[in-house]
Amino acid sequence: MMYMGTMYREIDRGGQGSNLPLAPDVYGLIETAGGASDRAARIAAVDALGASGDPRAVQTLVQCLQDADSGIRMHAACALRDLPSVRAVGALIERLLDTREQSETRVHAAEALGRIRSIRAIDPLTRILQEPDDRLREAAENALTEIKHAWHLPEEN
């Protein structure tokens, strides 16, 4: 059954029908994000992977953080903000600390680290508080607050 462009399947629960959305073709998205020649298709796949909520997408999104295309890297950082996983912490820290990286990518990396709440991110995020970019500093401050709150660590003034 199709409804507004989304496939649904009927599931029988004790005689009561219910409609649940089918999972997106995660493997197809992984393949497109990881190496399609069409940049727009890759970006769309990266975005869809982030929105999928599927942990199978994390590895590909982490690999996309190393892509030569800065747009792919930015969308991957944003996707990992929406699909937080501790498996992405090291690569997100690398993007965060790369001063040659686009500011927007670094902001998304800080936001993702805040959502993941890994204690490993405290030192790198603290270093970002010295950056001249207001948006980046604010993202780092917010991420530090999230992490410290999650781990019941004292806030420093």
Residue 119, CB-side half-sphere exposure with 13 Å CA sphere: 4
The domain tally of the chain equals 1
Assigned domain for 53 exists: yes
Asked whether residue 137 is domain-assigned, the answer is: yes
Residue 65, domain member (yes or no): yes
Write the CATH number for 143. Answer: 1.25.10.10
Within-domain flag for 54: yes
Would 157 be classed as within a structural domain? Answer: no
- Looking at residue 157, what is its pLDDT? 53
Q: Which domain holds residue 46?
A: 2-150
CB 60 within 8 A of CB 35: no
Those residues whose C-beta lies under 8 Å from the C-beta of residue 20, and which sit 6 or more positions away, are: 8, 9, 11
Pick from 22, 31, 29: which is nearest to 44 by CA? 29
Instruction: Please check whether residue 120 is in contact with residue 96, taking contact to mean a CB–CB distance below 8 angstroms.
Output: no
61 in a structural domain: yes
Q: What is the pLDDT along the chain (157 residues), one digit of tens a residue?
A: 332 333 323 333 333 433 333 455 899 999 999 988 999 999 999 999 999 999 999 999 999 999 999 999 999 999 999 999 999 999 999 999 999 999 999 999 999 999 999 999 999 999 999 999 999 999 999 999 999 999 998 876 5
Burial readout 140-154 (b: 16 or more C-beta within 10 A, e: otherwise): bbebbebbbeeeeee
**Predicted local confidence at residue 116, as pLDDT:** 97
Q: Judge whether 155 lies within some domain.
A: no
d(CA 92, CA 105): 10
Residue 156 lies in a domain: no
